[in-house]
Structure 1
Amino acid sequence: MDGICDGRVVIVTGAGRGIGREHALEFARQGAKVVVNDLGTGREGAGRSSAPALEVVEEIHDLGGRAVANSDDVSDWGGAARLVKMALSAFGRLDVLVNNAGFVRDRMLVSMTEQEWDDVIRVHLKGHFLPLRHAAAHWRERSKAGDAVDARVINTSSGAGLLGSVGQANYSAAKAGIAALTQVAAAELGRYGVTANAVAPAARTRMTEEVFAATMARPEEGFDAMDPANVAPLVVWLGSAGSRHVTGRVFEVEGGAISLADGWRHGPRADRGTRWDPAEVGDAVTGLLARAADPEPVYGA
């Protein structure tokens, strides 16, 4: 199978269903060899099954592609290490890491339990860091050995991470952390030939099925704007050799629209030249707010 990722080796986490599944299939269509990682848990993170990953591998084989299944827990140090090693043992190299795995445990702040907070932060944020950590160590080793590394990391943030989302404090915090992690990875890993970018997709998945219960299809065009397959083309291009000039960016993607998220920047500034008197701070802040753009609203507010 020939395409823009011909011969590249790709890991996709959380690839048994939804957005991750579509990533894995499109990478295969574009010529990549794919490690399909999925823990096979339920929507709330319970249980384990190798079936979802194996089913996607079979679909890739039916397309004429090459793939292997992996059911390691990406939020576990050893599991993430085994995932990277599987790509190397199965295909001899690793070129692209797509961090996608996650689940939600939505609750208003005043009702959220410590466990609900810890679980979502662990799976999303730690589950991004650990595969990235082990993949980065491999690429650094290759680079120091004199190999020409041309590797990609594509992380999965969310509009909730960029703007916040009512009832999703844990998820929003994790996804905001992923956006910041992406920027740090881009700054640190560029010297080794690695780019790092993130996507913030809007699509229908198990995590969003209640939000998008009413499909946003356009009957007159036959286009389903919430189809998770809409996200894959951007991710696959970011995993290609042609994207080597793009790093440290967060892209929003919804339906047929791709936009570049413009994150935190230094804004209006008031410098007194010495320590502020508390009584004077209020007027200074009022002046700063008058010169600044209004913030985007939090989802659900």
Structure 2
Amino acid sequence: MGNMVKDKVVVITGSGAGIGRDFALAFAASGAKVVVNDVGRARDSDEFLANQVVDEIRAAGGEAIAATQSIATWDSAHEIIQKAIDAYGRIDCVVNNAGIVRDRFFFKMSEEEWKAVIDVHLNGSFYMSRAAAPHFKEQNGGSIVHMTSTSGLIGNFGQSNYSAAKMAIVGLSKSIALDMAKFNVRSNCIAPWAWTAMTATIPEDTPENKARVAKMKKMEAGKIAPLAVYLASDAAAHVSGQIFGVRANEIYFFNQIRMIRSLHRDGGWTPETIAEHAMPAFESSFFPNVPSLTLTPWDPI
């Protein structure tokens, strides 16, 4: 492909399959040394999926090693980053891609379903980023690419755990961008549209979910990788704290929450004056509660 991230050391979580695998292959093809992280195993051989991806990369002439620890604990996340340091002497980028889904309507969701998703998506993204941070500071540079989702940015049915984690990752990314800017460390988010092993678990139990799945099946996971490679490269040195999306051949740039209207009242407000004056003034600017698919009704190209 090219040399946009030549000799950069990149840890990619959840890269044994799906979007993560495509990330690993794309980074390696662009010159990076890749740490392929995944806890998953192949169904037919029980071999770690990460080892299979490493073999693919090496067969194509690239450099890669496998790390099969979980990202969902502090210690194991640090072990993954240390493995990169031990193998290649540095760490330049972390791609927080690993994820699971436990879809359930909010009123039916169990504590286990809530915690499992939060642990992998949100805690895993924090642990991995935090483990890399001292190394980024010492070398005065680095990049973190997080996976968010329109389920958090916009909303979706049956995904309160996933939506909460993915919206929290946006806040985490922004905080990292602010806290680490003086060390030339960048942090950005990508909201991917793609059909993967994870999204294949979405139940088709409602008309809305059936329509959503039908469209997602048209979207190739490999289309997401070029943006991730760019964000890890020196060409993106000026890009931090931003939110992007990829949907087939479309790239989105998302706005972020800002105040859009204000209303002042001398002497302050009471519940009654809020009901009489404030809410009627704001209601024309209210956002409708719609699932993310409603805002992308056109077919992907």
Q: TM-score, normalised by structure 1?
A: 0.89
The Cα of 1:286 is off from its aligned counterpart by 1.3
Determine the structure 1 residue equivalent to 2:79. 82
1:288 pairs with 2:282: yes
The Cα of 1:164 is off from its aligned counterpart by 1.4
The Cα of 1:53 is off from its aligned counterpart by 0.2
Determine the structure 1 residue equivalent to 2:50. 53
Aligned pair count?
Answer: 282
Determine the structure 2 residue equivalent to 1:37. 37
Determine the structure 1 residue equivalent to 2:12. 12
The Cα of 1:275 is off from its aligned counterpart by 2.6
Alpha-carbon separation, structure 1, partners of 2:292 and 2:42 = 25
Determine the structure 2 residue equivalent to 1:71. 68
The Cα of 1:215 is off from its aligned counterpart by 6.2
Alpha-carbon separation, structure 2, partners of 1:36 and 1:278 = 55
Give 5+ residue unaligned stretches, structure 2. Answer: 203-208, 295-301
Determine the structure 2 residue equivalent to 1:222. none
Determine the structure 2 residue equivalent to 1:123. 120
- Deviations along 1:143-187, one digit per CA (max 9) or x if unpaired, are xxxx4x331100000010101111000000000000111111101
> Are residues 92 and 241 of structure 1, via their aligned partners in 2, closer, same or farther at CA, if it must alter by over 3 Å?
same
Q: How does 1:1-301 map to 2 (within 5 A)?
A: 2-40=2-40, 51-140=48-137, 142=138, 147=139, 149-209=140-200, 210=202, 214=214, 225-282=218-275, 283-290=277-284, 292=285, 294-295=287-288, 297-299=290-292
Q: TM-score, normalised by structure 2?
A: 0.89
Alpha-carbon separation, structure 2, partners of 1:213 and 1:284 = 40
Aligned-pair identity in percent equals 38
Alpha-carbon separation, structure 1, partners of 2:249 and 2:256 = 22
AA at the equivalent of 1:157: T
Alpha-carbon separation, structure 1, partners of 2:222 and 2:240 = 23
Alpha-carbon separation, structure 1, partners of 2:74 and 2:107 = 32
Alpha-carbon separation, structure 2, partners of 1:231 and 1:295 = 28
> Are residues 183 and 125 of structure 1, via their aligned partners in 2, closer, same or farther at CA, if it must alter by over 3 Å?
same
> Are residues 154 and 287 of structure 1, via their aligned partners in 2, closer, same or farther at CA, if it must alter by over 3 Å?
same
> Are residues 19 and 28 of structure 1, via their aligned partners in 2, closer, same or farther at CA, if it must alter by over 3 Å?
same
- What SS class does the counterpart of residue 102 from structure 1 fall into? coil
> Are the aligned partners of 1:166 and 1:299 in contact in 2 as well (CA < 8 Å)?
no
Alpha-carbon separation, structure 2, partners of 1:14 and 1:128 = 11
> Are the aligned partners of 1:50 and 1:71 in contact in 2 as well (CA < 8 Å)?
no
- What SS class does the counterpart of residue 175 from structure 1 fall into? helix
> Are the aligned partners of 2:41 and 2:48 in contact in 1 as well (CA < 8 Å)?
no
> Are the aligned partners of 2:195 and 2:216 in contact in 1 as well (CA < 8 Å)?
no
Determine the structure 1 residue equivalent to 2:299. none
AA at the equivalent of 2:108: S
The Cα of 1:298 is off from its aligned counterpart by 2.4
> Are residues 11 and 77 of structure 1, via their aligned partners in 2, closer, same or farther at CA, if it must alter by over 3 Å?
same
RMSD across aligned positions (CA): 2.0
Give 5+ residue unaligned stretches, structure 1. Answer: 44-48, 218-224
